[in-house]
Structure 1
């Protein structure tokens, strides 16, 4: 039995990037032999085994039979197994002594920072999304013939066969890369953004008022907001909220362009639609809905009355979920600073709302007079918060905060 390290571990090691998860391919063995050696089987169609001590994954080598179907067996060679992979840079193996096996010249493509497909790329349409994710994560270019193949597969409708969960998993991983913007750009270049996120694709070409958005194009604004949120946080919840925060602008009738009155509320059902279609987890949906619905109110926070501010924090569930409130503020900041020439503009609204939240978070039913009961308790808590906010506003000097427009 021969075992070789394969895939991302070898690729990232050669790139001198962090490489922790190790995957092995086993040549010349059978499921019975693996079980006899103490391995635990976890795969069904094509057996994958966990090492009895390290718990690392060991997969039996796979190749094509005479009919072109995937098969496994002791006669499958390492080269056959590597040939079924998606890209040359992922078809490099390393033996236990550290020797590199590279039958498809993936090492050369690593040196040239190029993503180039293997003939089996077409086997799984998810590889189109993975191609975009690797371009974003590694900052690699895509070979022209590979881009052409991906476009052809997309035009053929191959992405429609993907399970929603697989699309979301790839999207979430892309949001965690150093450049989610690049992921969106590559998908759009390949025609795949329209297939998996048509609500985002529709934003490109939609104009906005140049006074507030010097970049004008809404799609470009979303890309710039993604750049800004990438600088502020690695949290994929915030990054997803930024990606879908302006979906409502795509449904503004053209006769009203470049104005987009009410786009915040119009975007909420579109956020819901995306999340339902891709079966995105509920906590992502909740934050994205809040960001779509209330980001403009945050931009105008310095002008809002105490009762409006108190209701805003109540609607955001800020007192019960302070971590999500902070995520929400980061998404709003990314929106405000994701504009041409305004990336470094201060955003005092976030600190203003943080201070109001801190001042009001300890108000509870304990502060309500004992003669007040039932629903009146909630109303009284709201009034107490309003009074404390009003007092805080009076104590602020005019220079403490400055207005920011959307």
Structure 2
């Protein structure tokens, strides 16, 4: 299936030309979708002429969301990048191309290409739109890491946070989309290191990400971490033991009688919080006695 930009003088009366450009890009993400080189060249000329300059970001998001929820979102994103539309719509994402990140074999990957693979993995796993949105953005703080530190990206979280917030405001996405993207920014790399953590640190992580109060968001974070892991070369068919390990830790904590524990510290809220964290750490230690080391060996 091939898509071309309408050239009839009637076409602009039927749909905003800028929206039409994005719809063609989004259609490329569907099964068997593609855009020919001549059409991409035309799209590039239109973008250079300022076609997208006055487009309402809310309209743009509606088309981007359609593409992200298709079978292969990266095909839409590549069309947007090739036409230079990505520089206009998501310059924070476009800027990741050419930036290296540590990997296994090869030793580094291009972060921009990696994010496209992550969102495709999210599509293969039929992830909700919130996960696919976050899949694009959790590394946006790495586009301007100091060259002398590469492929490490020190303090990328501080740089990434205002960028994610700006993107979320620009497209007016639901708050839970922004919150998940921020959570991924802060926690994906920590989750990848979970097998090295002590039980108390794992219990603290579960508390920090509010796995007890927002279990669905925790599941989405684990899904996103799995997609990030599997997007690296050579890992597409490998299991991701950290997600199973943290799920087991969470289950172990859930069976604690929290109400009874807090009742013992009725007049000491701080003591109750400390006791609960200690009890959760002990529960995690019991639950992961074997799973913890198995997960470490598998990664």
| TM-score, reference length from structure 1 | 0.67
In 2, the alpha carbon distance for the partners of 1:147 and 1:359 equals 53
Higher relative contact order (CA 8 A, sep 6+): 2
Which residue, 277, 296, 299 being the options, matches 1:402?
296
Which residue in the other structure is 2:275 paired with?
380
Which residue, 81, 93, 102 being the options, matches 1:188?
81
SS class of match (1:125):
helix
Which residue, 49, 59, 66 being the options, matches 1:156?
49
SS class of match (1:368):
helix
Query: 1:403–1:212: structure 2 CA closer, same or farther, 3 Å change rule?
Result: farther
Query: 1:244–1:397: structure 2 CA closer, same or farther, 3 Å change rule?
Result: closer
Q: CA deviation at 1:316?
A: 1.0
Kindly report structure 1 stretches of 4+ aligned residues shifted beyond 6 Å.
none
Query: 1:136–1:215: structure 2 CA closer, same or farther, 3 Å change rule?
Result: farther
Confirm or deny: 8 A CA contact 2:29 2:70 kept in the other structure: yes
In 2, the alpha carbon distance for the partners of 1:397 and 1:277 equals 43
Confirm or deny: 8 A CA contact 2:261 2:272 kept in the other structure: no
In 2, the alpha carbon distance for the partners of 1:260 and 1:332 equals 18
Which residue in the other structure is 1:203 paired with?
96
Bigger Rg, structure 1 or 2: 1
Q: CA deviation at 1:133?
A: 0.4
Which residue, 99, 116, 119 being the options, matches 1:226?
119
Equivalent residues in 2 for 1:7-18, closer than 5 Å: none
In 2, the alpha carbon distance for the partners of 1:284 and 1:271 equals 10
Q: CA deviation at 1:182?
A: 0.7
Query: 1:147–1:355: structure 2 CA closer, same or farther, 3 Å change rule?
Result: same
Which residue, 166, 171, 174 being the options, matches 1:281?
174
Structure 2: gaps (5+ residues): none
Confirm or deny: 8 A CA contact 1:188 1:201 kept in the other structure: yes
In 2, the alpha carbon distance for the partners of 1:265 and 1:329 equals 22
Confirm or deny: 8 A CA contact 1:247 1:270 kept in the other structure: yes
Structure with a larger share of its residues in strand: 1
In 1, the alpha carbon distance for the partners of 2:121 and 2:223 equals 10
Q: CA deviation at 1:125?
A: 0.7
Structure 1: gaps (5+ residues): 1-112
Q: Deviations over 1:218-243 (max 9, x none)?
A: 11111221222222223111111111
Q: CA deviation at 1:365?
A: 3.1
Which residue in the other structure is 2:162 paired with?
269
Larger deviation, residues 137-146 vs 239-248: 137-146
Which residue in the other structure is 2:146 paired with?
253
Larger deviation, residues 310-319 vs 132-141: 132-141
Q: Deviations over 1:350-374 (max 9, x none)?
A: 0000000111124323323434433
Which residue in the other structure is 1:77 paired with?
none
Structure with a larger share of its residues in helix: 2
In 2, the alpha carbon distance for the partners of 1:170 and 1:305 equals 44
| TM-score, reference length from structure 2 | 0.90
In 2, the alpha carbon distance for the partners of 1:360 and 1:268 equals 30
